[in-house]
A = this chain, B = another copy of it.
Amino acid sequence: MDIENLVGSIADFNAEKFAQAAEELHYADLANVFEDLDDQGREFFTKNIDTARFSEVLAELPDTLIEETLERFPIAQQREILGQLVDDDRADILQDVSTSAQQRYLALLQPEEMEETRSLMRYHEETAGGRMTTKVARITQNMSVKEALDTLREEQDSAESLARIYVVDERGHLLGKVRLRDLAFSTWDTRVSSIMEEVDITILATADQEEAAQIFSKYDMTLLPVVNEYEYLLGVITHDDVLEILEEESTEDIEKMSGIAGEQSEETYLNTALSTHFKRRFPWLLILAMLAISSGYVMLRFEDVLSSIYLLALYLPMVVAAGGNTGGQAAAMVIRAMSLGELEAGTTRKVLSKEVCLGAMLGSVMGLCIAIVTMFILPLFNPQLPVGVTIASFSLAVSLALALQITSSTLSGALLPIGARAIKLDPAVVAAPAITTLVDISGMLIYFTAARAILHIT
């Protein structure tokens, strides 16, 4: 409703209606609308939006739009927008623009903001330090409740959340935490040190963002304090950061598991350029195609088997594909368990023995199904088999090959992600597409070898 009003006002270049509609909307909606506009629409949007409002919108925009959008504003407004940003958003934004723009934008900041932003920019975007905000509510242990409340009241706008208030010593080392309710409901002369609780869980600024998200969701945290190796309190990670991390990491897993390469686009699927989509899909496609020629080569080498019993072609794609499917399932299970932090080092043997059992179970049941289908249904079609080959021996060859292919593929599906992790690769890159291609080769080999041996093809 409001969104439609906004879009309509931009189409009509109606500044008054625009200002009204923009005021009612959430910044996330404003950012969505902005992203979908054409150049003229964006020009109108940036001319007419309340500058103070726009810093929130800017923080929601995809990386690729940041610089060109900021450049639409005169310098005074750039200064205002950058000044209004929350510190972690500001550091993120400055990490995403060109080096020359970065210098220019930094120079627009107040000296202390500049210092703070620079120090945040030292951390890689995907670490706890890169995600944290330094706007954390801090009090010291010698304060009374009254002093603490006064301090917080003065600084309330500089803390992103008062859900937890951290107690530090004079040099900034983390000592404990209190909740605002503990302060609000205590008598004013109570010492902070007497109501503060211990902080059990912290994270190092250099830790991976995925670790922060895992800690957050495992321990149902509200805020996660970020420290350096001397337990000096640097900042906090808030729950909206964690939602973003989880979304990013899930997208990354799904994309990698589908053979999509490169960094994920911050833009929506529809707004991402064709060339970007192309660049991310092409590399794996080419690598896998080259690998798949090996399967063809195996098929070529077994010409004699296929030409003496061409009926083998009926089950060839099925046996080969079943390996890809079971391998893909096993890989997905193992990769997901790894992402959820369930598989630490030392569990490899358990995983492999589990998957070997499962593979053997799936393989034998599937083999049995196909043997039955072949024994009872195939004869109805009067298949042509060479002398010396019976329906029974044909069924045996096919179902044995299927069982072997499923068992070995299940094992490969579990083994490859674990192996990838061992050599510090992301396990997700060896999911379905890579596994399917690899077990296609083994499937061809298993199928033709079983047929040749059991059906005595010379």
**Interface residues of A, Cβ cutoff 8 Å to B:** 26, 28, 149, 152-153, 156, 161-163, 179-181, 183-185, 200-201, 216-220, 222, 239-240, 242-244, 246-247, 250-251, 253-255, 257-260, 268-270, 274, 277-278, 281-282, 284-286, 288-289, 292-293, 295-297, 299-300, 303, 306-307, 310-311, 313-318, 320-322, 324-326, 328-329, 331-337, 340, 342-343, 347, 350-351, 354, 357-358, 361-362, 365-366, 369-370, 402, 406, 431-433, 436-437, 440, 444
CB distance from A244 to the nearest CB of B (A): 7
A72 to B278 alpha-carbon distance, docked (Å) = 58
* Chain B residues, CB < 8 A from A311: 300
Task: Indicate whether A366 sits within 8 Å of B286 (C-beta atoms), given known contacts A258-B432, A259-B329, A313-B303.
Answer: yes
Can you report 7 residue pairs joining A to B where beta carbons are below 8 Å apart?
A: A26-B201, A152-B181, A257-B332, A270-B347, A281-B362, A282-B365, A289-B402
- A362 & B326 in contact (Cβ 8 Å cutoff): no
A432 to B324 alpha-carbon distance, docked (Å) = 10
**Beta-carbon nearest neighbor of A307 in chain B:** B307
* Chain B residues, CB < 8 A from A307: 307, 310
**Beta-carbon nearest neighbor of A431 in chain B:** B258
* Chain B residues, CB < 8 A from A181: 152, 156, 162, 180
**Beta-carbon nearest neighbor of A406 in chain B:** B285
* Chain B residues, CB < 8 A from A240: 217, 220
* Chain B residues, CB < 8 A from A317: 292-293, 295-296, 299, 320, 440, 444
* Chain B residues, CB < 8 A from A216: 243
Query: Of B239, B250, B270, B336, which one neighbours A239 at CB under 8 angstroms?
Result: B239
Task: Indicate whether A318 sits within 8 Å of B337 (C-beta atoms), given known contacts A222-B239, A284-B325.
Answer: no
Task: Indicate whether A247 sits within 8 Å of B340 (C-beta atoms), given known contacts A149-B184, A361-B274.
Answer: yes
- A28 & B220 in contact (Cβ 8 Å cutoff): yes
